[in-house]
Amino acid sequence: MSTTAALAAAVASIGDVLMLHVARERGSELGLLLVLGGVLGVVAIPLYALGYLAASKPLLPVSRSLAAVVAVAGGMTAALGAVIHGLTAAFLRADLAAGRPATDPLSAVLAWGPLLPRLWGVGILCAAIASLAFAWPVATGRSALARWLALLNPILVSIAVGAVGLGSELGRAYLTPAAPNLAHVVFFAVLRALPFRGRSPDGSATPPPRR
C-alpha cells in the first residue's frame, strides 16, 4: 500500500508542476497541460489513503485509537487534497479564459474567494492530526518503527520543503506550492523502504516490548 501511495504522490507532484507551469506562463495554448495536471492530481491523491492506512498498521500494537486517527484523518486529507487540486485546476482554467495576468500561487488562491483557503485550512488540520498521531508513538519508541521516522511525517516535511523553496524564485514558483505532495512522496517511500527497527526471521515486523 505504501508503494502505491508513494507512486501516487509522485504522480500528483507531476500534476502540481504542470499546473504551476500553466499558472506561471498563463498561455492559452497550455490548456491541455492544465487538464492533464488536474486529472493527475484528482486521480492520484485519493490513493494517499492507502499510505495512511499502511502507516497506521504498525501503531496497532501500541494504540488502536491512534492507529484509527492516522487512518481516518489521513483518509480525509486524501479526499480533501483531491478536491482542492481539482478546484485549483478549475479556477486556473477560468483565469486563463478571462485572460487574467499571472500572479504568485498564494495570491491566486486568495483571489479565488473563501472556499479554497477554507478547504486548505481543513486539509492542513487533518494532515496535522494524522501526522501528530503517527509521530508521537514513533518518536517515543513505543512502536516498531525507527524513531527518526517521526521527523518525516507529512506536516514537518511539507514545512521543510516549503521553506527550502522560499530561497529562490523557481522554488517559490514550483517547490513551495508543491511541498504537500512532495512531502507525501518522502513519507510513503521511506515508510515502505525502511519501516522497522527489527524483523523476525521470516521477515515480518517484530514490535518492541510494550513499555
Could you tell me if residue 180 is inside a domain?
A: yes
Is residue 211 in some structural domain? no
Does residue 91 lie within any of the structural domains? yes
Total domains in the fold of the chain? 1
In a domain, 207, yes or no: no
> What pLDDT is recorded for position 109?
76
Q: Is the pLDDT of residue 102 over 70?
A: no
Residue pLDDT, tens place only, 51-100: 999 999 999 998 999 999 999 999 999 999 999 999 999 988 888 877 77
Does 79 reside within a domain?
yes
CA dihedral 49, 51, 54, 59 (to 10 degrees): -90
Query: Residue range 99-120: average pLDDT?
Result: 80
Domain that holds residue 71: 2-193
Specify if 204 maps to a domain: no
* pTM exceeds 0.75 for this model: yes
The answer to whether residue 25 sits within a structural domain is yes
Question: Among residues 32, 152, 4, 148, which one has the least CA distance to residue 93?
Answer: 32
In a domain, 152, yes or no: yes
Calpha distance 206→208 (Å, rounded): 7
Percent of the chain at pLDDT exceeding 90 = 64
Q: 511541498: which residue's cell?
A: 179
